Amino acid sequence: MATFQFIAKNSAGQEQRGTIEAGDRAGAITAIRAQGLMPTALGEVKGGGTPAPAKPAKKPAKAPAASGKKKGFGQIEIKLPAFMRGRVKPKDLTTFTRQLATLVNAGLPLMRCIEVMKKQKMAPAMKDCLDGISEGIAGGATFSESLTAYPKIFDNLYINMVKAGEAGGVLEVVLNRLAEFAEKAQKIKNKVKGAMIYPAVVLTAAIGITAFLLLTVIPKFKQVFDDLLGGAELPPITQFVMGLADFVENNGLMVGAGIVALVVAKKLIAKTEKGAYVFDKIRLKLPVIGSLVSRTAIGQFSRTLGTLLSSGVPILQALTIVRDTTANRVVRRAVQTVHDAVKEGESMTDPLASSGVFPPMVVSMVQVGEETGALPDMLTRIANTYDDEVDNAVAGLTSAIEPALIIFLAVVVGTIVIAMFLPMIKIISTVSAAG
């Protein structure tokens, strides 16, 4: 028997650390799962001595260091395998899920499917992961239990859906749903990111051009104007631009430091629960952008919950997973309220309506779904509707931003050009009169 140290989460999401004896890694995972825990790190204890029994951690365990070693439990070192430190791109995980679903649907045994997948070209971390999964299944663990050893690759949503698929004998159906879910989520994410690229490029160009003109071109014009106009009063717009150039030249470092300080302060505040909640609430209230953030969050909530319920995951467990996978803390708090209400035997409708996050249309469709027993189907319809709305909103936002940014850039550069051109007219007039 070997001794393993583990870090795991209980049903309340709290981390626990402890040790367990088992014949191999797969047996250790099975034993930890039997205690109602979900392992997030597991390593065999190297060295003598009998470790103390598992106790709840007083503080959250830190992520493993890049070296793969972690100290704890009286400075005992455990070396985590490389695959527990690696990450897999969402696109690679989606491809793996889709291919595995095809193989399972073809009637191949799961172990044979994994062996076939290991021959495919994929990321090293994914290959190491498949080796571990294969070892776990060979040791008697289920597919879902083997996945729990790789929390950086397979999240709670993935593991619980696979577990439900195994229990219902519809693993290939669940894997296809997971692949579709990941593809649609990535599609929305890419569209939103793509819509932000053009504004970011134009704004960067505007700032760069303006800084270049203010710091290099305008000071030279100022010297020319002083020499040729003999201190005569300049037009107001020229005075404004030159004053701005002087301010940037004399206080540029201070302004830059101030901007950096604001960014750092924002990040620090956002790391606190209260600060992150306030920022998330502000995002939902922003004009134009707030509507897009809200629709994206509601679409993600509906699709995730609908996918889980249609895969056979119990409603309370599904709501917990949705809460943990929701990025916006305002929506997360609303989901927690719904979870608490359902736990007390109430309907989802009232807490959804009182949250102020979900519009009446969503609340009404959820109510109809609960009354007719077709809640997963209704949630999927809501998700499809909001995905379409997000697509339209992103397209409309992009169409509106492009000309607005072009006009903004033209106004900034045009103002500087006009400010420099007006005194030149006066200089030309003076020279002509003197001639």
Note the pLDDT tens digit of each residue in 200-235: 888 888 888 888 888 888 888 888 887 777 667 788
Q: Convert 255-277 to b/e letters by CB count within 10 Å (16 or more is b).
A: eeeeeeeeeeeeeeeeeeeebbb
pLDDT in the model for residue 59: 35
pLDDT of residue 61: 36
pLDDT for the residue 67: 37
Least-confidence region, from 46-60, 123-137, 391-405, 406-420: 46-60
Q: What fold does the segment set 90-182 form as a domain?
A: Receptor-associated Protein (1.20.81)
- Of 26 and 386, the structure prediction assigns the larger pLDDT to 386
- Considering just the CA atoms, what is the radius of gyration of the chain in Å? 30
pLDDT band at 368 (very low <50, low <70, confident <90, very high): very high
Average pLDDT over residues 171-177: 83
Average pLDDT over residues 351-357: 87
For the chain, the maximum distance between any two Cα atoms, rounded to a whole number of angstroms, is 105
pLDDT band for position 63 (50/70/90)?
A: very low
Query: In the predicted model, what is the mean pLDDT of the chain?
Result: 79
Judged against a pLDDT cut of 70, whether residue 83 lies above it is answered with: no
pLDDT at 165: 79
Euclidean distance between the first and final Cα of the chain, in Å? 105
**H or E, element range at 76:** strand 76-79
pLDDT at 71: 41
Q: What is the pLDDT of residue 1?
A: 77
> Residue 24 and residue 1: Cα distance in Å, rounded?
8
284 pLDDT more than 50? yes
- Which one has a higher pLDDT value, 285 or 255? 285
* Interatomic CA distance for residues 176 and 400, integer angstroms: 37
pLDDT confidence bin for 58, thresholds 50/70/90 = very low
Topology given in CATH for the domain delimited by 185-435:
Receptor-associated Protein (1.20.81)
Question: What is the per-residue pLDDT for 65?
Answer: 37
Structure tokens at 115: 């062996």
pLDDT at 62: 36
Beta-carbon contacts of 247 under 8 Å, excluding residues fewer than 6 positions away, are none
In this model, does residue 162 exceed pLDDT 80?
yes
Give the pLDDT score at 13. 63
* E-only strand ranges, 113-247: none
Look at residue 288 and tell me whether its pLDDT is greater than 80: no
pLDDT at 11: 65
Over residues 355-359, mean pLDDT = 87
Whole-angstrom CA distances from 10 to 36, 37, 39, 243 are: 6, 5, 9, 62
159-165: average pLDDT: 81
pLDDT at 86: 54
Q: What is the pLDDT of residue 365?
A: 92
User: Using 50, 70 and 90 to split pLDDT, how confident is the model at 395?
Assistant: confident
Instruction: Return the structure tokens found at 7.
Output: 């870090």
Per mean pLDDT, which of 246-260, 377-391, 400-414 is the most reliable? 377-391
Taking residues 25-33, what's their average pLDDT? 76
Q: If you average pLDDT over residues 86-91, what whole number do you get?
A: 75
pTM above 0.85, yes or no: no
Q: What is the mean pLDDT of residues 272-299?
A: 86
In this predicted structure, the answer to whether residue 131 has a pLDDT above a threshold of 70 is: yes
Q: What percent of the chain has pLDDT over 90?
A: 4
More confident of the two residues 278 and 44: 278
Where does the pLDDT of residue 66 fall: very low under 50, low under 70, confident under 90, or very high at 90 and above? Answer: very low
Q: Which of 3-17, 31-45, 65-79, 171-185 has the highest mean pLDDT?
A: 171-185
Tell which wins on pLDDT, 288 or 372.
372
pLDDT reading at 310 higher than 60: yes
Domains 90-182 and 185-435 share a fold: yes
Q: What is the pLDDT of residue 55?
A: 36
Q: Amino acid identity, residue 8?
A: A
Q: Are 129 and 153 in contact (CB under 8 A)?
A: yes
When mean pLDDT is compared across 129-133, 368-372, 399-403, 418-422, the lowest value belongs to 399-403
pLDDT of residue 364: 92
Return the pLDDT at 40. 66
pLDDT at residue 213, as a whole number:
83
The domain segmentation of the chain, as residue ranges, is: 2-81, 90-182, 185-435
